[in-house]
């Protein structure tokens, strides 16, 4: 009996062990299958992500889209790419100066004390406008002489008219009539001389004796007061200019041409000028003069570029860079404003508007000519390229990349 009980217990234990082993094997198999499925799912996600990258734009290179209002606020302007003529050029540093043919240093015609100075430095003045008023002894004397000559002429004129009437009635001798006429003519000549002297001194004839010693210093033409030395109460003399007035509607850009470039630059050659004050902007002009001699130390010849300055933005003494077209053959090239080319991740790109989106496109820049850059590759004729506002698009693109975790 005991042996049967012992045998049954061994059988039961064997069954339990077998069931335990089977359960353990099943759990291990399920665990491996689940891990395999999880890895397979993750691999599928990576494959799908890679497929998306291959089928569209690379990650971090998403196209930018802006509404018309957003583009306007960002200052985005688009220009169609066209071929433009490009020849050899000479780039030189220069300075801006007033047109010396339209500049005047104004001094008093005679010594006098300054009694008023209505003009201020930088004022825009018209031709004939009073810049300062002076009080002068010489002008007072000239005005007194004019008044005396005026009185003598009046008397001589009256005597002549009386003699003329008496001569008509044959009451006086012919010689008395001729004497009266001669005195009238001499008085008229003296009056003209006195008026001319007063005018040359800057005075104005005044028969009433009011302000007879004062005279005005006036602007000879319309322009801008570029220098002012007149001080109220000081004594002015003809040897010291009180004002400088310049017509700045046209300025001279003065540059030095290297000796080796003189054979290529001609009077009348087109030139573009840029200044640090207005980055990205160009001012167009032409070479108006080339010096007749060289500087013995620098071996350069002076050149003058005449540039229109109607808005007055170009100021005297500004530093500038002038790009002058040289004589010779010209070739066609794609030229875009310098501001159109920006560096993105250290590489030069331009933004091209295509199907309503702004795409950053790699380019190969070439020569820079007067604020424009020649592109060797990257864009073609007919492309719509952003010429203004490229830096705003660059900032938006970098911001979008940061938003994707880069």
Chosen domain end from 245, 269, 284: 245
- The reply to whether 307 and 371 lie within a common domain is no
- The reply to whether 128 and 240 lie within a common domain is yes
**Looking at the domain assignment, is residue 236 inside a domain?**
yes
CATH code, domain with 268? 2.40.30.170
- The reply to whether 146 and 127 lie within a common domain is yes
- The span from the CA of 93 to the CA of 346, in Å, is 29
- Which residue is listed with tokens 């001589």? 156
- The reply to whether 303 and 235 lie within a common domain is no
Asked if 243 contacts 217 with a C-beta cutoff of 8 angstroms, the reply is yes
Q: Which residues contact 319 (CB under 8 A, 6 or more apart)?
A: 93, 94, 95, 96, 275, 276
Q: Which residues contact 229 (CB under 8 A, 6 or more apart)?
A: 240, 241, 242, 243
Count how many domains the chain has: 4
- The reply to whether 325 and 337 lie within a common domain is no
The domain in which residue 24 lies consists of 1-56
Chosen domain end from 278, 304, 330: 330
**Looking at the domain assignment, is residue 63 inside a domain?**
no
Instruction: Decide: pTM greater than 0.75.
Output: no
- The reply to whether 112 and 196 lie within a common domain is yes
- The reply to whether 339 and 221 lie within a common domain is no
CATH code, domain with 78? 2.40.420.20
**Looking at the domain assignment, is residue 306 inside a domain?**
yes
**Looking at the domain assignment, is residue 303 inside a domain?**
yes
Asked if 155 contacts 196 with a C-beta cutoff of 8 angstroms, the reply is no
**Looking at the domain assignment, is residue 203 inside a domain?**
yes
Would you give per-residue pLDDT tens digits along the chain (406 residues)?
444 344 444 444 544 444 444 444 444 344 444 433 443 334 443 334 333 333 333 334 456 888 888 888 888 888 888 887 666 778 899 999 999 999 999 999 999 999 999 999 999 999 999 999 999 998 888 888 888 998 999 999 998 898 888 888 788 888 888 989 899 999 999 999 988 888 888 887 765 555 588 899 999 999 999 999 999 999 999 999 999 999 999 999 999 998 888 888 889 998 999 999 998 788 999 999 999 999 888 899 999 999 999 998 999 999 999 988 887 656 777 888 888 899 988 899 999 998 888 989 999 988 776 567 888 888 888 899 998 888 888 888 888 777 655 4
């Amino acid at each position: 009996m005991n042996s049967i009980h012992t045998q049954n217990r061994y059988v039961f234990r064997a069954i339990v062990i077998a069931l335990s082993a089977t359960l353990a094997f099943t759990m291990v198999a399920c665990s491996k299958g689940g891990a395999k499925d999880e890895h397979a799912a993750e691999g599928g996600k990576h494959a799908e992500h890679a497929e998306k990258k291959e089928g569209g734009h690379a990650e971090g290179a998403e196209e930018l889209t802006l509404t018309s209002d957003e583009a306007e606020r960002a200052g985005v302007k688009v220009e169609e790419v066209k071929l433009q003529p490009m020849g050899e050029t000479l780039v030189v540093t220069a300075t801006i100066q007033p047109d010396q043919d339209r500049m005047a240093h104004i001094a008093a015609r005679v010594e006098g004390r300054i009694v008023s100075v209505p003009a201020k430095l930088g004022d825009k003045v018209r031709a004939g406008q009073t810049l300062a008023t002076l009080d002068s002894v010489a002008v007072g004397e000239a005005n007194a002489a004019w008044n005396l000559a005026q009185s003598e002429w009046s008397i001589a004129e009256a005597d002549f008219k009386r003699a003329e009437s008496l001569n008509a009635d044959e009451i006086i001798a012919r010689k008395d009539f001729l004497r009266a006429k001669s005195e009238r003519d001499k008085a008229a000549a003296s009056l003209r001389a006195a008026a001319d002297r007063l005018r040359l001194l800057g005075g104005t004839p005044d028969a009433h004796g009011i302000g007879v010693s004062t005279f005005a210093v006036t602007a000879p033409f319309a322009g801008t007061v570029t220098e002012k030395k007149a001080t109220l109460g000081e004594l002015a003399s003809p040897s010291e200019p009180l004002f400088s007035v310049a017509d700045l509607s046209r300025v001279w850009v003065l540059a030095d041409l290297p000796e080796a470039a003189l054979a290529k630059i001609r009077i009348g050659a087109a030139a573009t000028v840029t200044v640090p004050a207005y980055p990205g902007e160009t001012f167009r002009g032409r070479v108006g003069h080339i010096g007749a001699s060289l500087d013995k130390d620098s071996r350069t010849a002076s050149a003058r570029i005449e540039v229109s300055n109607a808005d007055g933005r170009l100021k005297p003494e500004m530093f500038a860079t002038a790009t002058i077209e040289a004589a010779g053959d010209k070739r066609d090239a794609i030229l875009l404003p310098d501001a159109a080319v920006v560096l993105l991740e250290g590489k030069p790109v331009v933004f091209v508007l295509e199907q309503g989106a702004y795409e950053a496109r790699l380019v190969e820049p070439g020569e820079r000519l007067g604020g424009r850059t020649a592109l060797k590759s990257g864009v073609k004729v007919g492309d719509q390229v952003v010429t203004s506002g490229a830096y705003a698009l660059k900032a938006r693109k970098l911001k979008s990349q940061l938003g994707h975790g880069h």
